[in-house]
Amino acid sequence: MSNAAIVDHNVPPGEPPHIHHMDTPTAYGAAKLGMWLFLATEILLFAVMFCSFAIMRYYHLHEFHEASHHLDLRAGALNTAILLFSSYTAAVAVTKAQMGDNRGVVKNFTYSLLCGFGFLIVKSYEYTHKAHEGMFPFVWNSDFYHYKNFLGLYFCMTGLHALHVIIGMAIMFWYGIRPARNNRFSGKYYTPVELSALYWHLVDLIWIYLFPLLYLVG
């Protein structure tokens, strides 16, 4: 492949050809390296929280042990299964993009998006249930106030993760589904799909650590 940008003529009628500047080996490698560096900063962000959780658990072991039993293990397990399946469909979307199957990209990223919505619905149910019991910030019940250290970290970590889920969904739609509807991807140009899937895999990986840390710590 030459170092010149490749013109994509597979565009809707009436639109000018699109020039993809990430089709060259150098640009593709730079884009992927940039994404990995960004993901490293995200891992560092959550690593700080994981370390904070470990330290607080060391000093408040009994509280963390008791408080973890008030979390809905079934909801957490369901969300784990949902995200694992969404990672599979995101990986399939990358394969479809490499094959030039734009309909496959739309189909599989749509599955991942639906899984993301499902995850947020389950998490909303958990938050609503905790608020009803008085285990939510600003509506603390005096019976659960002594769990404030565990619950504070729980809502901070899961809330930040939920925000990343929303961002990941937006990325998959904007850089994956939207251009795939216009047949923009081919075996020579699929970088946005691959990078979107990489970000989504990180979101799933973080939850794989959060689930046992929060729900199974007791």
pLDDT in tens, 71-114: 999 999 999 999 999 999 999 999 999 999 999 999 999 999 99
Confidence of residue 132 (pLDDT cuts 50, 70, 90): confident
Q: Are 1 and 24 in contact (CB under 8 A)?
A: yes
Please check the confidence at residue 5 and state whether its pLDDT lies above 50.
no
pLDDT at residue number 195? 96
Q: Are 78 and 97 in contact (CB under 8 A)?
A: no
pLDDT digits (tens, 9 = 90+) for 10-51: 545 544 445 454 556 677 888 889 999 999 999 999 999 999
Cα dihedral sign, 55-163-198-86:
positive
Q: Which residue has the higher pLDDT, 132 or 106?
A: 106
Average pLDDT over residues 139-163: 85
Confidence of residue 6 (pLDDT cuts 50, 70, 90): very low
Write down all domains in the chain, each with its CATH number in brackets: 22-217 (1.20.120.80)
Name the pTM for this structure: 0.86
Structure tokens at 193: 């799909």
CA angle in degrees (0–180, nearest 5) for 164-155-82? 50
Structure tokens at 24: 């060259």
- CA of 9: how far to CAs of 99, 139, 191, 198, 211, in Å? 17, 58, 17, 27, 46
Specify the 3-state DSSP secondary structure of 71. coil
Q: Which residue is it, tokens 């799909």?
A: 193
Tally Cβ neighbours within 10 Å of residue 159. 12
